Amino acid sequence: MKTFQGRVIASGNVTAQAVVSHEGLNTLASFQKALQFGDKTATCGDQNNPDLYGKQMAGKALCLPQTIGSTTGGLVLYCACSMNRQPACMLFSKPIDSLAAAGAILADVWLENVSMPVIDSLGDDFLQYVKDGMQITVDENGTVTVSD
Amino acid sequence: MMQLTKEQQEIYDGKQGETLAKVMKTLVKYGEVFGAEKMVPVTGKHNHLVTSFGLKALGPVYDLMNRLIEAGNLSKQTFSADPRPLDKNVPANFLQNFIFNHFMYSRQDFYEDQLNKLGLMEKDAFTCTCYMDEVGNKPQKGDVLSWAESSAVVYANSVLGARCNRNSGIMDIMGSVVGYVPYFGLLTDEGRKASWIIEIKTTKKPEAQLLGSAIGMKVMEDVPYVVGLDKWLGTELNDEACTYLKDFGAATASNGAVGLYHIENLTPEAVESGKALVNENARTYVIDDAELERVYKNYPVVWKNPDAKPKLCFMGCPHMSLQQLKDWTDKVEKSLKEAGNKKVLIPTVFTAAPAVLKAFEQTEYAPRLKATGVITSYICPLMYMNNPLSGKMPVITSSNKLRTYTTAKYYTDDEILQQITKGGNV
């Protein structure tokens, strides 16, 4: 078990299984199919992301460095939250990028009864340590506990 | 901690309505994440939105737009938006047409109606190159913007000297609804400094889309200061240089996340301040012929059959300029003549802004291009490609943005010309 401390972007407490992307997450490419074709598990549709392609993102602790790609990224994430297909939490090893921040904040301000804690700046060690399937516990103060 | 003016605080506290308060709260929170200490007025004449498509899957976005409209919180600036996703001129089979019109983009008319209510510049203001003279959304140097669309943002910042962050869709319109944006990142002098020096040491003018891709993948979201490109582009921001920078910038923004670049002796801030724009600890990236070749060879081949015969060619992501349409008319004609062919051998679509296409139609080039079989369209190639049916089609392009986001295969301009006019693999 190891604990990491990050910065709270959207607060909340949650426990979920990790899915890990070591590359930047292309939000549009990853979520578009799931939103378009009614996939409630939000299977990642980005063929260019070997870590995540074909894996479930909804309800998982999504661990990543940053998001990349189209500036539709924030609204795609907002839609995923609104349609209840969002990850249980998003955990960034680096400082959050403007597109992911937009998605997280739009969901936080405009949607009721939707929870997706978002923590950033967890450090490169976090992404090196965490593996798919590990149990993640997020505390509202930004502490992230990873259990083997 | 954000310091708001009295007016901003009143909006935040709900004195101008609950919906506008939420808009302000969204932008304040967004700014606080990036250390903004104040909100500054949006000073550009027009906004530009990335969301132009009535994609059925984006229902929550249209619900949010409705909340703004119903509360009377419309955009304070008129705006352009990214290209439309549909155009019947572009070849599509029966199934594609059915899926586009009845499934994917079934809310196009509804959404365009929303955009009109919110403040669309005019009914055809749909293009990613809103800064073209013919379109009329060209910011002034120093203007503060609330734009989205990565290729437009990087052009406005770098070539025009405007100030805009790489905003997400929805954040873009929130800035022009409330009239303020948080002051951080590329809005600040410090945020516009370069942390990379890029040395161009090629033996010929580098392909814009390839050079942009190499730089984007290396620097990601950082600001690069490019040395040695003026040898190939000159020191004047003329039509040719601006067109090159349009395509170069789109590749930096999509292959990485570049929001601003400086070209020594060419772009406005580099001309004004030179190397004073470069941070002390900037890293250096040298680009020569071998490095561009390495980048090109490393693109993944995502076609099921890598040797498939191309079924479609897209040029114009971002949309082509008027001069590009004219130059390509000459090139296609000449190359067809050399090969003894009359029409292009692969269905080929050149895309440009509706206003640019209108201007092109008034030139003697338009009938000549039509005679070669090339189709012109205002469509967004990316939106055309972004579905499983089109994704399986072997499509070629010289756009590195289209390559990045879709299954389209990238070739250089010369290779594209050869394939569409002379056929065969390059």
Tens-digit pLDDT profile for residues B177-225: 999 999 999 999 999 999 999 999 999 999 999 999 999 999 989 999 9
Residue contact A70–B405, C-beta within 8 A? yes
Q: What are phi and psi of A78, to 5 degrees?
A: -60, -45
Q: Does B30 touch chain A (CB under 8 A)?
A: yes
Min Cα–Cα distance to chain A from B101, Å: 14
For residue B122, is pLDDT > 80?
Answer: yes
Given this model, what pLDDT does residue B57 score? Answer: 82
Mean pLDDT of chain B: 95
Q: What is d(CA B33, CA A76) in angstroms, rounded to the nearest whole number? A: 19
Q: Which residue has the higher pLDDT, A92 or B1?
A: A92
For residue B46, is pLDDT > 90?
Answer: yes
Mean local confidence (pLDDT), A8-35: 92
Mean local confidence (pLDDT), B73-78: 98
Contact list, B251 vs chain A (CB under 8 Å): none
Residue contact B33–A47, C-beta within 8 A? no
Q: Is B55 left (phi over 0), alpha (psi -120 to 50) or beta?
A: beta
Residue contact B405–A105, C-beta within 8 A? no
Contact list, B60 vs chain A (CB under 8 Å): 78-79, 82-83
How many C-alpha atoms does A29 have within 13 Å on its Cβ side? Answer: 25
Closest residue in chain B to residue A26, using alpha carbons only: B405
Contact list, B384 vs chain A (CB under 8 Å): none
Residue among A72, A73, A101 minimizing CB distance to B33: A101
Mean local confidence (pLDDT), B342-353: 98
For residue B16, is pLDDT > 60?
Answer: yes
Mean pLDDT of chain A: 94
Residue among B25, B33, B150 minimizing CB distance to A70: B150
Strand partners, A5: A143
CB B78 within 8 A of CB B46: yes
Q: Does B300 touch chain A (CB under 8 A)?
A: yes
Confidence of residue A32 (pLDDT cuts 50, 70, 90): confident
pTM: predicted TM-score of the whole model, two decimal places: 0.95
Mean local confidence (pLDDT), A86-100: 96
Confidence of residue B426 (pLDDT cuts 50, 70, 90): low
Q: Does B64 touch chain A (CB under 8 A)?
A: yes
pLDDT digits (tens, 9 = 90+) for A102-143: 999 999 999 998 999 999 999 999 999 999 999 999 999 999
Residue showing tokens 């155009």: B87
Please state which of the ranges A44-53, A133-142, B318-327 shows the lowest mean pLDDT: A44-53
Min Cα–Cα distance to chain A from B231, Å: 31
The length of chain A, given as a count of residues: 148
Mean local confidence (pLDDT), B366-379: 98
For residue B425, is pLDDT > 70?
Answer: no
Confidence of residue B129 (pLDDT cuts 50, 70, 90): very high
Given this model, what pLDDT does residue B41 score? Answer: 98
For residue B296, is pLDDT > 80?
Answer: yes
Instruction: For residue A37, give every residue at least 6 positions away whose Cβ sits within 8 Å of its Cβ, in sequence order, or none.
Output: none
Q: Does B29 touch chain A (CB under 8 A)?
A: yes
Contact list, B302 vs chain A (CB under 8 Å): 47-48
Beta strand pairing status for B312-320 and B348-352?
A: parallel
The complex scores an ipTM of 0.94
Confidence of residue B278 (pLDDT cuts 50, 70, 90): very high
Residue among A9, A75, A105 minimizing CB distance to B61: A75
How many beta-carbon pairs below 8 A join chains A and B?
105
Residue among A47, A74, A109 minimizing CB distance to B168: A74
Given this model, what pLDDT does residue B302 score? Answer: 82
pLDDT digits (tens, 9 = 90+) for B213-264: 999 999 989 999 999 999 999 999 999 999 999 999 999 999 889 999 999 9
Min Cα–Cα distance to chain A from B33, Å: 7
The sign of the CA dihedral B387, B388, B390, B392 is positive
**End-to-end distance of chain B based on CA atoms, in angstroms?**
57
Closest residue in chain B to residue A39, using alpha carbons only: B57
**Stretch (H or E) spanning A62:** strand A61-64
